[in-house]
Amino acid sequence: MAAKYIPLTGAESAAYAMKQINPDVLAAYPITPQTPIVMKFSEYVANGEVDTVSITVESEHSAMSATVGAAAAGARAMTATAANGLALMWEIVYIAASTRLPIVMGIVNRALSGPINIHGDHSDTMGARDAGWIQVYSENNQEVYDNYFMALRIAENEDVLLPVMVCQDGFITSHSVENVMPAPDQVVKEFIGKKKFKGLLTAEKPFTIGPLDLQDYYFEHKKQQHEAMKKVFPVIEAIQKEFAEKFGRKYDVIEEYRTEDADIVIMGMSSVMGTVKEVIDAAREKGIKVGAVKPRFFRPFPGEYLKKILSKFKAVGILDRSDSFGSLPPLFTETAAVFYTSSTKPLVKSYIHGLGGRDTTVKLLEKVVTDLQKLSETGEGNFTSEYLGVRE
């Protein structure tokens, strides 16, 4: 059977992937713009296309709590949420990671109130960056679909055993239709394989999860989490390679776009990178040597990769779709920190863009290209963030 493209929204792509994963348990609570994932998946349940036990919880706090319970019991457990829902889960988001449960959570990134706003930005997951989860950000619907399978494999890897957030941008991705090429069920089944981890219901002997862990051992358990994160990139690389073989689509930890001879690059995550690529194509027409760099993962932070890649360029514009009020935004600060000990480092400029779903237009990104050209000529940068396109 030849693989065929089908039109799917980002949310449907997520639901489709989840259908093929057919998790043991799904516990989720609706919140815009994640709702179409839950609704679609509920249809699959209602039509018997999956035999997942779906828990229609009364809140996100219970969604994550039940997901933790199910995973701890030994089940493949999934959930999905956005913004305020993620915030309501907060406490248990940390517990999921500390308990080392291989949960995959779909995130449809949305501005975290207030004032309340339902559109896409990364303030929700960026706030959760220290929770101990792996975070993968998807540029488009195909990537959303593909990331779910890779996320599951990464999470369940015996060297890792950490939960993963699979992020896509609210509305821009979740509600836009694109052609997506799903893999045949059999390919997915073989790729994800059978779960190996054991839980309360499947381990041979009874055991205790979630004890009171005081000064004498808590620190050791945190060190284990710290070390587990260090093992993630080699695992990701192997899984991405295997994915390419089985699915025919190749992913890297960092995607580079037209960077071979580039002097300047724009770096950012998720859907904005689609527009960035357009802008780069146009600028290339005009002979500007500009490229793009897209980290697919934010946790663990791909610092070593970025150090290698970015040191080749004169100037880098870093787009953050969230602010860290009172400091500089996360992608920027963490990238800058990587170069602390380097003698060769690019000039950098920080942009905060698209908060609350504000469109990051071609025009705004063209300005970024111009800024970077100037910066690479004058060498005069400063360490502040610009709110890209805000009304003054």
Partner 1 sequence: MKEIKKSWKNIPIGGNILEAGNSKNYITGTWRTFIPRLDKEKCVNCFQCWMFCPDNSISIVENKMVGFDYDHCKGCGMCVSVCPTKAITMEKEEK
Partner 2 sequence: MAILLKDLVNKNVPLNGGHRMCPGCPTPVIVKQILMSTDHPKVAANATGCLEVATTIYPYTAWNIPWIHNAFENAAATIAGIESAFRALIKRGEIAEDRKQTKFIAFGGDGGTYDIGLQSLSGALERGHNFLYVCYDNEGYMNTGIQRSSATPIGANTTTTPVGKVSYGKKEPRKDLISIVAAHHIPYIASAAPHNWMDTMNKAKKAIEVNGPAFMDVISPCVPGWKIRTDEWKGISEAAVKTCFWPLIEIENGEWRLTGESKKIADGKMEKLPVEEFLKSQGRFKHLFKLENKDVIKLIQDDVDKSWNYYKRMAGYND
Within residues 195-234, the interface with partner 2 by CB under 8 A covers 199-203, 206-214, 216-218
Segment (H or E) for 335: helix 330-338
Applying CB under 8 A, which of residues 2, 4, 47, 216 lies at the interface with partner 1? 216
Kindly state whether residue 95 participates in binding partner 2, applying the rule CB under 8 A.
Answer: yes
- Residue 227's binding partner among partner 1, partner 2, none (Cβ under 5 to 8 angstroms by kind) is partner 1
Q: How far is the CB of 105 from partner 2 (least distance, A)?
A: 14
| Residue count, binding to partner 1 (CB under 8 A) | 21
Dihedral sign, CA of 148, 153, 156, 159?
negative
Q: Which one of the spans 35-43, 70-78, 146-154, 345-353 is the region binding partner 2 (CB under 8 A)?
A: 70-78
Q: Mask 162-201, x = binds partner 2 (CB under 8 A)?
A: -------------------------------------xxx
Applying CB under 8 A, which of residues 35, 42, 45, 61 lies at the interface with partner 2? 61
- Closer to partner 1 at the Cβ: 104 or 162? 162
- Residue 98's binding partner among partner 1, partner 2, none (Cβ under 5 to 8 angstroms by kind) is partner 1
78 contacts: CB under 8 Å, gap ≥ 6:
18, 21, 23, 25, 26, 28, 67, 103, 104, 105, 106
CA angle 201, 94, 154 (to 5 degrees): 65
Structural contact between residues 95 and 210, judged by C-beta atoms closer than 8 angstroms: yes
Q: How far is the CB of 66 from partner 1 (least distance, A)?
A: 18
CA angle 251, 111, 56 (to 5 degrees): 85
Q: Which one of the spans 134-142, 146-154, 215-223, 382-390 is the region binding partner 1 (CB under 8 A)?
A: 215-223
Alpha-carbon gap, residue 28 to 107, rounded angstroms: 11
Dihedral pair phi/psi, residue 49, rounded to 5°: -80, -15
Strand, helix or coil at 351? strand
Q: Encode burial over 43-58: b for 16+ CB neighbours within 10 A, e otherwise.
A: ebbeeeebebebbebe
Binding site for partner 2 (CB under 8 A): 24-25, 27, 51-53, 55-59, 61-62, 65-75, 77, 91-92, 95, 199-203, 206-214, 216-218
Binding site for partner 1 (CB under 8 A): 98-101, 161, 205-211, 213, 216-217, 220-221, 223-224, 227-228
